[in-house]
Structure 1
Amino acid sequence: MRNNVIKIVLVLVTFSGIGCKKNKEINKISTEGVVEYFANEFLDDNRIHSISIALYNNGNESTFHFGEQNPNKKNPPTDATLYELASVTKTFTGTMVAKAVLDGKISLDDDIRDYLPQEYPNFQYKSEKVTIKNIITHTGGFPNFPPAGENKKAFWNGLHQVEISSKPGTEFHYSNTAPEITAYILEKAYEIPYQELIEEYILKPNQMIDTKFVLDAKDKNLLIQGYNGEKEPQKHYQSNLWGGIAGIHSNTSDLMKYIKYHLNESIPEIEESHKNFFSTQYDFDIGYHWNIVKIENEVCYRHHGGIWGMQNWLMVFPKSNIGIAVLSNASFEGIDDKLEKLALNIKRGIK
């Protein structure tokens, strides 16, 4: 099968520069063939054990699994296999903030100190306050990691050490501190624990029954083991805070539902969550935690997630009504680029 797929893709490449004939040749290639080719290319790196893919293409839903969950075990992932989404969790946080804005629970221009449990005179630059918009766009001047994070009390006490060194809203500095503050603000606004908010307003309405912060014994048996580049098993992430930065577990079946949710911009909180607030110094803009980038003249909303032992990308293209999630239980320097290339190659190949 693989040799046939390679031949098919070679045909695609051969005709990639030949006008209308290109479209005729692409149309001959099945989605399965395109995905299998690029998945096998991804797995040619022997540090990588498996890949799971959820692909939504104009009403067609497909999931794919290649490789093996554990080296030499011949046990491929399935639609039920759970992965840690790591920082893709931030898109859930951002979506919940968008809903809170529409519900009138918060305003993007609110001073974050209005919601916090302690006084933080250090949360300003000169006379400039830090707003909710600043912390969801990583422009609030917060450090990547909090001074203390072993528990919530230590988190709040440690934040007194933070110095805001630039005018809020002017510089992008990626922060794993600010989203935890955001999660707490959402709790205060709704008077409901953050993780319950995500379940009530995002997971339940979209029937994402397998997507969870906290796993029971059955779920833990479905959670894939993660490995580093030396094939050494890695510990699973354990959040001691609210979970605004990471902590959600999901599978390809539920991620398909999440993709469809974010492709539907007729939903008020989705339309709101796709707003563009800031152009970073990198190749993307940012809104409600979505990284926003133009790829071949089409806007893509995407986010990468990486943790010890596993990494993933989630991308949605509302204009072409395409969304894709790619997940692997390997983590090492450069695999994020490999996953990004895999996702974009599949997207280009199926068009």
Structure 2
Amino acid sequence: MNAWLISAFLLFPYGLINPKRSIAIPTLLNKALTDNPLKTSVDTLVEQAAQQFMTAPESVGLSLGIFKNGQTYVYNYGTVEKGKEQLPTDQTQYAIASISKTFTGALLAQAVVEKRVKLGDDIRKYLTGNYPNLEHEGQPIRLFHLLNHRSGLPFLLPDVPDAFANTAIPSSAIATELLKNYTRADFYEDLHKVKLDAMPGHMFKYSNAGAQLMGYILERVYNLPFEDLIRMKLTQPLAMNDTKIELTPSDQPSFAKGYNCTGVQMPMVPDQLQGAGALKSTVADMLNYIQWNVSEATEAAKLAHRPTWGDIDRYSAGLNWQILKSSGYRAIWQDGNIPGYSSLCVNFPELNMGIVVLSNECDRKTASRITALANQIAKNLDERAVMLPN
């Protein structure tokens, strides 16, 4: 697993979606409940990979979506809540954690297309007050640094490295505790205290604080709340009506309960993370998002995928997308992991294909297992698919 994935694990109308299947099909030999009809070759290859994933005792529920050559497929396994035989559906909401950062990247790309900002702008242009600390050797943090994890900002604000010393507790759970009652004013106060130890753009340092700050900057650029921007610029145009930060009372029955490796239900991650990891979504919505990314039909989508760091012929980073290229084919992906939820979204533009995996369980092995699941399915769908590092 590469450094980005290890760090990401620590915290955090296109096409037609298959009709919701309402009948759970119990299977024998301790297989997980599923709505997979097992009628096509795609159904069969998904069944093999997904049932293998669900054999882990920690597994709870799984929703998986595939887009391939204009067709979409949705499969659900397990349950939305322990102790119940209630399958997820294409409308079940999951926390998507750090996949949220790609939405922030898409918003930044749109702001560039609209000429409201430039990717290379000094971030201090959009901050109130004096921040001489946000440069090193005369080189400032630039907007794109906030979304390729080379800003030099810490993993999280508040920056309490000692809090993560206890390796028995997942870092994401520790971060959730630190963020309780932590305000935006606290964030900016701590931002004044940041000390950069290298020039921005040169050193990888996974930073939720960077993506969170990018969300705050976009709010100032547009003079609108971040969630309103997400809705206006992305979710409404893409018919992603169930993708949001703040859940309403009517959303609660559709939201899957999230669990840790011991089966304990996890509390919700604080919404103030917003563009760094607070979005919730469904497999149906994420398939629309995948089609927007795979098609690269808009300037914003193209810009979000344009490398801002790395070797464009091998591994690089865009606006919070990781990009792996081999034999002219790209895999553009991001995973997400927070207490109770693990997810992965991967796009293969040249293959007109994409996969999304959403799970309501998270432990230190879930991210690797989800990557293996996606790799197995992608390779069986198209042998040219670039395999993600695992």
Task: State whether TM-score is above 0.5.
Answer: yes
**1:66 Cα deviation from its structure 2 partner:** 0.9
Instruction: Give the corresponding residue for 1:101.
Output: 112
Determine helix, strand or coil for the equivalent of 1:64: strand
Which residue identity is paired with 1:153? A
Pairing 1:256–2:287 present: yes
The answer as to 2:45 corresponding to 1:34 is yes
Relative to structure 1, the CA distance from residue 199 to residue 233 in structure 2 (aligned partners, 3 Å threshold; closer, same or farther) is same
How far residue 70 of structure 1 moved from its aligned partner, in angstroms, is 2.4
Other-structure match for 1:336: 367
- Could you say which residue in structure 2 is the equivalent of 1:286? 317
The aligned counterpart of 2:174 is none
The alignment's TM-score, normalised by the length of structure 1, stands at 0.89
Q: Kindly provide the CA deviation profile for residues 256-275 of structure 1, in whole angstroms up to 9, marking residues without a partner as x.
A: 11111111112111111110
* Corresponding position of 1:133: 144
Which string of whole-angstrom CA distances, capped at 9 and with x for unpartnered residues, describes residues 152-209 of structure 1?
A: 0000001111101101111111101111111111112122222111110101101111
What is the one-letter code of the residue matched to 1:316?
N
Report which of the two structures shows the higher radius of gyration computed on alpha carbons.
Answer: 1
Gap regions ≥5 residues in structure 2: 1-24, 29-38, 160-178, 383-390
Measure the CA separation in 2 of the matches of 1:256 and 1:145. Answer: 30
1:277–1:285: 8 Å Cα contact kept in structure 2?
Answer: yes
Is 1:327 the counterpart of 2:358 in the alignment?
A: yes
1:311 corresponds to which residue? 342
Does the 8 A contact of 1:49 with 1:329 survive in 2?
Answer: yes
Deviation of the 1:309 alpha carbon: 0.6
Secondary structure of the 1:244 match is: helix
Secondary structure in 2 matching 1:240: helix
| Contact 2:126–2:217 (Cα < 8 Å) also in 1 | yes
**After TM superposition, which residue ranges in structure 1, 4 or more long, deviate above 6 angstroms?**
none
1:201 corresponding residue in structure 2 = 233
Task: Tell me how many residue pairs correspond in the alignment.
Answer: 325
Does structure 1 retain, via aligned residues, the 8 Å contact 2:244–2:279?
yes
Partner Cα distance (2:89, 2:278) in 1: 21
Q: Secondary structure at the match of 2:275?
A: coil
Match of 1:44 among 31, 42, 55: 55
1:75 to 86, 94, 97: 86
Structure 1 residues not aligned, in runs of 5+: 4-27
- Offset at residue 222 of structure 1 (A): 0.9
Q: How big is each residue's C-alpha offset from its partner over 1:238-285, in whole Å with a ceiling of 9 and x where there is no partner? A: 2235x11011111111111111111111211111111011128xx842
Q: What one-letter code is carried by the residue in structure 2 that aligns with 1:225?
A: K
TM-superposed CA distance for 1:41, in Å, is 0.4
Match of 1:25 in 2: none
**Which range is displaced more, 66-75 or 290-299?**
290-299
Out of 218, 223, 246, the position equivalent to 1:186 is 218
Report if the CA contact (8 A) 1:227-1:308 is conserved.
yes
How far apart in 2 are the matches of 1:104 and 1:320? 31
Equivalent residue for 2:122?
Answer: 111
CA distance in 2 between partners of 1:99 and 1:57 (Å): 26
The DSSP-based 3-state class of the residue aligned with 1:178 is helix
Q: Measure how far apart 1:29 and its partner are.
A: 6.7
TM-score, normalised via structure 2 length: 0.80
CA RMSD, 1 decimal: 1.9
- The aligned residue for residue 62 of structure 1 is 73
Alpha-carbon distance in 1 for matches of 2:53, 2:246: 31
Structure-2 separation of matches of 1:118 and 1:305: 33
Distance in 2 (alpha carbons) for counterparts of 1:296 and 1:310: 33
The amino acid that maps onto 2:99 is: V
- Per-residue CA deviation, residues 131-160 of structure 1 (Å, 9 max, x unaligned), is 112212111111001126501000000111
Q: Does 1:230 align with 2:262?
A: yes
In the other structure, the counterpart of 1:168 is 200
Q: Deviations over 1:76-128 (max 9, x none)?
A: 11111100011000000001111111111101111111111221111010211
In the alignment, which residue of structure 2 is the partner of 1:219?
A: 251
Partner Cα separation in structure 2 for residue 291 and residue 56 of structure 1: 19
Larger mean CA deviation between 297-306 and 97-106 belongs to 297-306
For residues 266 and 224 of structure 1, what CA distance do their matches in structure 2 show? 33
What is the rounded CA distance, in whole Å, between the counterparts of 2:129 and 2:209 in structure 1? 16
1:314 deviation in Å?
0.4
C-alpha distance in 1 between matches for 2:122 and 2:104: 18
Cα distance in structure 2, aligned partners of 1:214 and 1:172: 31
Please give the secondary structure, in 1, of the residue aligned with 2:190: helix
**Percent same amino acid at aligned positions?**
29
Q: Is 1:345 the equivalent of 2:376?
A: yes
